[in-house]
Amino acid sequence: MDVREATYEILRAHGLTTIFGNPGSNELTFLDDMPSDFRYILGLHEGVVLGMADGYAQATGRPAFVNLHAAAGTGNAMGVLTDSANAHTPLVVTAGQQVRSQVGTEVMLANVDAPLLPRPLVKWSAEPLCAADVPRTISQAVHTAGTPPTGPVYVSVPLDDWQTEAGADVAHLTQRTVTSAGALTPGQLDDLTAMLDGATSPVLVLGAAVDAAGANEDAVILAERLQAPVWIAPSPSRCPFPTRHPLFRGALPAAIGAVTHLLAGHDVVLVAGAPVFRYHQYDPGQYLPEGARLVHLTDDPAEAARAPIGRSVVSDVGAALQALARSVRQADRPGPPARPLPGVPGGEQEAPLDPAVVLATVDEVTPENVVYVKESTSTTALVWDHLDLHRPGSYYFPAAGGLGWGMGAAVGVQLAEPDRPVVALIGDGSASYAITALWSAARYRVPVTFVVLVNGNYQALQSFTEHMGVTGAPGIDVPGIDFVSLAAGYGVAGHRAHGRDELRQLLTDAVADDGPHLIEVPTRAINPFA
């Protein structure tokens, strides 16, 4: 058995039989005569490749395998890798290296200092010191990516290594398992339970890791027993709590002063599965309201160490929430009143539509088991008001805010969830970063419905200019893009919705079809800070 055969055996043992890639000459020796039980999903740009793999890994909850081309391919993928790193997406990212004997002279396509290239966006990176160590390094990469806190890893492999004879110990690698046992100790559980039971006004702040663990129902049980309002942590990339539950309050803003204002009046703040906190726009103030205590549950030791306030407990987030939900007393205080939902603007039937009308229409038409992949950054606050999200794994958003992730991620999520319809809500500025994802959707007949909200500019950036008092900044307008024609060019059925009724019908037809569709919707620009 050579190194290439041994690596396929290891990947097969872990169920990594889908390869997302865009190959170059350095990768051909690995891809030579690929086994028939593997499938290769080609993306026309490495950012799309990584986006597809990211969506696939998040939706399956298991590592996904990526094959990129040397330094250039890795560089093209790194914009999306920022989102993968912040989402703790388990990815095994590999890249081809030049022949070992030529790397030192920096020949064409040599990946110089390859392990340094993707840092600090990966948990671990390596280039094996010899060909015989490639299978063990790939095994280590799979286990590292999938062990909490999960995240992307990177391995550079010289192209002549694949044809080298593998060692006799390869069989051990296919049988290895690594598991994590990070439950709360009895003492920790008792302590946290006493704190929550003794609170007069507790509040929960939940993050993406709750949804990733499938612990949404345990979060509901805990909130109902405590009669505590629930916020989603700032800049959420997933939805950990039902948006129509009477205890749900929405997503916290990504600013110190604004968070403190909204948490005022609570004496205990329980943060689970999120950093404390991921701020964005500068809004100074106290980190917590006067008299409040914060406790933080996370499976990421680094996340715990860098938190500026509170007491952090490093634990399996899903197991901890389940234990707490069954341990706390049923509170006898009345629950807070349900938040009033804003109405949908009425009477508006013709384009350009208000984005709230678009989201309300999408929610009205799509099936109960729909999955949303969203990269329309200026409309993010509207999601919590107008989309009914209640199933685990129903919402994905770029965790680092970097554009170019969403269209590829939607294809990856749909590949992972063939029995659930996937609707991608993409801004026109975002769509242009990764429009080639349409080719992959058409090539593999992946039935994503892409809804492109077109307002002719980078609206989130435009709103920041107003928020920051900046005038005359260039490069904000992006008018004149015909996404219907672009879709047709890539082999995807393209449509333009001229009004709400037409949008409703186009969505109904697209979601029912077994192929990809793109619907362009002219929308009004809105200010997310208003």
CB 446 within 8 A of CB 516: yes
310 is catalytic: no
C-alpha span between 166 and 1 (Å, rounded): 6
24 is catalytic: yes
Question: How buried is residue 181: exposed, middle or buried, by Cβ count under 10 Å (0-12/13-18/19+)?
Answer: exposed
Torsion of CA 67, 69, 71, 75, to 10 degrees: -70
Catalytic residue from among 15, 25, 265, 489: 25
- Per-residue b or e along 141-178, where b marks 16 or more CB atoms closer than 10 Å to that residue's CB: bbbbbbbbbbbbbbbbbbbbbbebebbeebeebeeeee
Q: Number of C-alpha atoms within 13 angstroms, CB side, residue 79?
A: 17
Catalytic residue from among 14, 21, 27, 315: 27
Catalytic residue from among 9, 24, 348, 467: 24
C-alpha span between 56 and 43 (Å, rounded): 14
Ramachandran sector of residue 97 (left: φ over 0; alpha: ψ -120 to 50; beta: rest): beta
235 is catalytic: no
Nearest to 207 by CA among 227, 247, 184, 237: 237
Give backbone dihedrals phi and psi of 246, rounded to 5 degrees, phi first: -65, -20
280 is catalytic: yes
Catalytic residue from among 55, 146, 273, 401: 401
CB 359 within 8 A of CB 341: no
290 is catalytic: no
Catalytic residue from among 172, 280, 485, 489: 280
139 is catalytic: no
318 is catalytic: no
Q: Which residues contact 392 (CB under 8 A, 6 or more apart)?
A: 211, 214, 216
Catalytic residue from among 46, 303, 375, 520: 46
∠ Cα 234 236 238 (to 5°): 155
Catalytic residues: 24-25, 27, 46, 69, 280, 401
